[in-house]
């Protein structure tokens, strides 16, 4: 390829034209416009799913603590703060069923993310809005419970089996699980 006196190759333009760059930029913008809403939906769905799994982990920690320390432990939902917390029956309780906040290493309260529109808790088949917490007993059993987390991306269920106290997470419809 011959070189011109200015040091440039004379084989024609090898760069991109302004039109080509504009077309590629337009394609990138269009792909981003399609991908960003999909990513936002994926992010909300992962927040809903993670919340359900964190709640099941908190229930498992409550069960283990109840067995190891021979006390009743409760997972309580505090609606104004949109948060699940652990409480335990205090050894110095004057009244049976007097629960106090329980601070365990690694057992952080579970905050309900904004992606979750509605939280409903039922204990023994009744809505838990009457202040009844999910209780785990020293023998590993628990009250039958279902927590339903509903968001725009779907519904997640955390079911606690009464005989074993095991917490299970499923995705689906609350009516089909009861």
Q: How confident is the model over 8-33, as pLDDT tens digits? A: 555 556 788 999 899 999 999 888 88
pTM above 0.75, yes or no: no
State the pLDDT at residue 89.
Answer: 84
Neighbours of 48 (CB within 10 A): 22
Q: Residue 34: inside a domain, yes or no?
A: no
In a domain, 92, yes or no: yes
Residue 177: pLDDT above 50? no
In a domain, 9, yes or no: no
pLDDT at 178 over 50: no
pLDDT in tens, 36-64: 776 666 677 788 889 999 999 999 999 99
For residue 27, being part of any structural domain is answered with no
What's the pLDDT at 59? 93
Rounded Cα distance between 44 and 40, Å, is 6
The total number of structural domains that make up the chain: 1
For residue 107, list its beta bridge partners.
Answer: 104
Query: What's the domain range around 129?
Result: 59-177
3-state DSSP: the chain helix, strand, coil percent, rounded to 5? 35, 30, 35
Q: What is the pLDDT of residue 15?
A: 86
Task: Flag whether 137 is in a domain.
Answer: yes
Answer yes or no: is 31 within a domain.
no
pLDDT(127) > 70: yes
53 closest CA partner among 169, 165, 145: 169
* CATH at 143: 3.55.40.10
Q: Is residue 50 part of a domain?
A: no
CB-based contacts of 141, cutoff 8 Å, min separation 6: 162, 163, 164, 165
The verdict on residue 12 lying in a domain is: no
């Amino acid at each position: 390829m011959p070189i011109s006196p200015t040091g440039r190759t004379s084989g024609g333009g090898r760069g991109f034209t302004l039109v080509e760059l504009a077309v590629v930029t337009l394609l990138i913008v269009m792909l981003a416009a399609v991908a960003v809403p999909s990513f936002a939906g994926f992010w909300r769905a992962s927040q809903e799913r993670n919340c359900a799994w964190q709640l099941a982990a908190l229930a498992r920690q409550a069960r283990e603590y109840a067995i190891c320390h021979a006390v009743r432990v409760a997972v309580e939902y505090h609606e104004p703060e949109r948060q699940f917390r652990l409480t335990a029956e205090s050894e110095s309780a004057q009244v049976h069923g007097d629960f106090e906040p329980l601070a365990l290493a690694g057992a952080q309260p579970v905050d309900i993310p904004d992606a979750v529109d509605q939280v409903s808790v039922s204990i023994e088949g009744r809505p838990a809005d009457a202040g009844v917490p999910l209780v785990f007993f020293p023998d590993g059993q628990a009250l039958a419970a279902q927590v339903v987390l509903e968001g725009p991306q779907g519904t997640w269920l955390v079911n606690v089996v009464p005989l074993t106290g095991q917490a299970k997470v499923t995705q689906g419809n609350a009516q089909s699980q009861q």
